[in-house]
């Protein structure tokens, strides 16, 4: 086969695929990409519930003011609701949109998740810190150490969330770039 024949074959339009084939391929790829995220959502929800159980039953919650307990429960509840929202948004596929619009909407949801992860980490770890530090007899050094651990926990969790979601966003950006060609 000559070079001209190879070029000609290469430049010919590929066989056209039906919309159903494309949707099926996208659904398979989406399921594989987000299956780990869905598993993470369920594990994280179970951890929030377990943490609430431990904090409320084993760490003298009855000796804390109601608003401190309520703040911790509210923070964990927000995390659980966010996980349920995220799981639903990853499993529900809007069939009325074309593929490009659907990917753009998913990209926007992931950016919202990055912002939420940062704010939520601060609120949740702050509520845990408040719960543990309330009316405790701590020296200034111990309080400083606890604050340092709080800041490190927020930074590590937020950094991990940003890294993971940006990885998904890069994959979506690559798919969107391929669709525009």
Q: Is 153 exposed, middle or buried (0-12, 13-18, 19+ CB in 10 A)?
A: middle
Q: How confident is the model at residue 105 (pLDDT cuts 50, 70, 90)?
A: confident
95-104, 132-141, 142-151: least confident range: 95-104
Number of other CB atoms surrounding residue 97 within 10 Å: 12
Residues 6+ apart with CB under 8 A from 74: 127
Query: Taking 60 as the threshold, does the pLDDT of residue 14 lie above it?
Result: no
pLDDT in tens, 34-82: 677 778 788 888 888 888 888 778 777 788 888 988 888 888 888 888 8
Q: How confident is the model at residue 32 (pLDDT cuts 50, 70, 90)?
A: low
pLDDT of 20: 67
Q: In the block, which residue shows the tokens 């979601």? A: 165
Q: How confident is the model at residue 179 (pLDDT cuts 50, 70, 90)?
A: low
pLDDT of 10: 58
* Average predicted confidence (pLDDT) for the chain: 76
User: Both tokens of residue 65?
Assistant: 């003011």
Q: In Å, how far are 17, 63, 70, 137, 169 from 25, measured between CA atoms?
A: 11, 56, 46, 60, 19
Give the global pTM. Answer: 0.61
């Amino acid at each position: 086969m000559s070079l001209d024949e190879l070029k000609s074959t290469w430049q010919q339009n590929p066989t056209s695929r039906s919309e159903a084939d494309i949707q099926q391929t996208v659904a398979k790829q989406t399921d594989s990409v987000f299956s780990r995220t869905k598993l993470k959502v369920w594990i994280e929800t179970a951890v929030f519930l377990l943490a609430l159980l431990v904090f409320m039953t084993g760490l003298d919650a009855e000796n804390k003011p109601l608003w401190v307990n309520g703040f911790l429960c509210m923070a964990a509840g927000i995390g659980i609701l966010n996980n349920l929202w995220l799981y639903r948004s990853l499993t529900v596929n809007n069939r009325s949109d074309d593929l490009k619009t659907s990917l753009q909407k998913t990209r926007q949801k992931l950016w919202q998740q990055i912002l939420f992860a940062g704010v939520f980490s601060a609120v949740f770890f702050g509520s845990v810190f408040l719960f543990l530090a309330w009316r405790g007899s701590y020296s200034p050094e111990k309080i400083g150490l606890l604050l340092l651990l709080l800041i490190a926990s927020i930074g590590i969790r937020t950094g991990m969330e940003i890294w993971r979601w940006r990885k998904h966003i890069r994959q979506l950006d690559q798919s969107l770039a391929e669709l525009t060609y």
